[in-house]
Structures are given as C-alpha cells and as structure tokens.
Amino acid sequence: MKARAYVEDRVFARQPDIRVAALFVAEPARYACLVLHALRAELLECVEQVNDEGVAHTRLAWWGQELAASVEGQPAHPVAQALQPLIRDHQLPAEYLMEMLDGATMDLRPDGYESLNELLLRCHRLDSMTQILCVHVCGYEDHNSIKFAHNLGVATALVRLITRAGADYQRNRLRLPHDLLARHGATPADLGGSTTPPRMRAVLRELGDTASEHFDLALALLPAVDRHRQRGAMIQLRLAHRLLAQLRRDDFEVLAREQQLRPLTRLWVAWRAARKEEKTARSDSANSA
C-alpha cells in the first residue's frame, strides 16, 4: 500500500474526529496533519494493542529507528516515509518527533503515573507535540499559536483518557494518576465493574476540570492572525469540548456505555465550528482593512 493511502486509511478508520476536521482543511496542510496524527496513532497502538510489555518496548524501539531514518535515511514504514518530506520541507525538529515517542513510552510504566503532573507531561510529549507539529506545517505568525497547540493537545488527551479508562484497565494500562485516585479514595479495581462508582467518577470529573482549564487557555491564546491556518485544530477543540460536555451530563459514567459523539453530531459540530472560523476570519480581515 502506498504511503498516502496507508496514512488516510490509518486516520480515517480509527480517529473520527481527525477525519471530520480534515474535511475543512485545504491541501497540502490537510495531508501533512494526517501524517502527524497517523504517527501518533502508530505509537499509541504499540501501547494500547499489545499486552506484552516487552513486545511493546521492542515495537517502540523500532519506531525510534524509523523516526531516525525519516530524518536522515530510508524508512521502511509508510507513515515514516510520508513523514520524511514533511521534515525536509517544513524543517520539523527531530527532537519533537522523539518526544512523541517518549510520551508513548511513558504509558508502559508498570506502576502507572504517580502524579497528575507526570500525566500532564505525558500528554504534552505525545499529544501536544502532535498539535505543535501540525501548527508548524500549517504555518503561523504569532508564537502564541504554539502555546495554543500545547493546551489543545493536553485537553484532548485528557478527554480521550477519560473515555478510555475502562478499556485501559482491561488491558492492564493504568493511566489515572495515583495521587488523584488517593485523593478521592478510588482504586483501579473500581474500573472493573459494569458501572462507574461515585469515587471513580470524582477522579474522572477532576480530570475533566483540568481538561476544561486547558480548553479555556487554548481558546484564549490562539491569535487572530493565525486562526484561519488553525481551522482544523479549532474543529478538534470543539469536538473534544462537546464530548466533555456529554461526559458531564452523564456524570462521567464511562463503563455502562461507550462515550463517543454520534456521527451526525460530530459532523454538525465540525460544520458549525468551521463556519464560525470563516466568519471570524472575514471579520478580522474587514477590521484590519
């Protein structure tokens, strides 16, 4: 399978929010961002779809070699091959790519995360770096766009971790920080039932509050001069924010039912977000004229 077809299949089949957001992004930025999100998906799969920790470490180590080859060499994987011209054309820092790898590797800690700060570092390394690299390929004028991407990455990562809490527990991948669990008197075993106990809901609610803080920071930081370039990222923000609102309405019940946006809801939220960004861009252009 050619690199482009592989990348699109990888993202469209497993990342519906990214798929919908991509509908409203023009080429070549559209494909460039898909490549970066495909890379994130490949790294996450090494952790989430492999039960043997040794095998997972081996697969991530192999990805380290592929990322090095994408910077200078001949990568074998389609995603790494697609990444190579992006690194060259946009001068993407190799250390950012390696930081994504480090973020995925953090999920393999046998004892999970001791503190919320450790979890936030993981979110920054894997998810914020993905968004920051997307800002680079889409282009920006104001450095606050990088800060916007950092906060967007953390917020979307936390929402995803909340929705996956039960599935992670089933795969012996605990991502909920120990200090948060202890503060609410919760244990990982609380995720093993058919419904979410109140003490675990309190843990997830606090994570949701942290995600909200980062959503608010992202919205406040995105500069007007770069809004039109970051339309895809803004759509991702609106989709994740809508899912967080749904989680709140259901009082963070993540075990009794799957928490995802319905396809029509996802498309509606994305369309409204894109329309709002178009109006904002026209308004900003008129004001500056």
Instruction: Report domain extents, the chain.
Output: 3-288
User: Is the CA virtual torsion 14, 101, 34, 214 positive or negative?
Assistant: positive
What b-and-e string marks burial along 214-224, b requiring 16 or more CB atoms within 10 Å of the CB?
A: bbebbbebbee
Amino acid letter, residue 138: C
φ, ψ of residue 233 to 5 degrees: the values are -65, -40
Chain centre distance of CA 152: 8
What count of residues does the chain have? 289
123, 162 Cβ separation under 8 angstroms = no
Q: Return all residues near 209 (Cβ < 8 A) that are at least 6 apart.
A: none
The predicted pLDDT at position 279 comes to: 80
- What is the CATH code for 3-288? 1.10.600.10
φ, ψ of residue 142 to 5 degrees: the values are -105, 130
User: Looking at residue 189, what DSSP letter applies?
Assistant: G
The predicted pLDDT at position 172 comes to: 83
Chain centre distance of CA 8: 17
The predicted pLDDT at position 286 comes to: 58
Whole-number Å distance between alpha carbons of 233 and 27: 15
Distances (CA, A) of 165 to 7, 172, 190, 252, 267: 27, 11, 10, 11, 25
118, 112 Cβ separation under 8 angstroms = no
The mean pLDDT values, 10 residues at a time, for the chain of 289 residues are 89 93 94 97 92 92 97 94 96 96 93 94 98 96 97 98 93 91 96 96 98 98 93 97 98 94 96 88 62
Whole-number Å distance between alpha carbons of 124 and 254: 24
The predicted pLDDT at position 289 comes to: 52
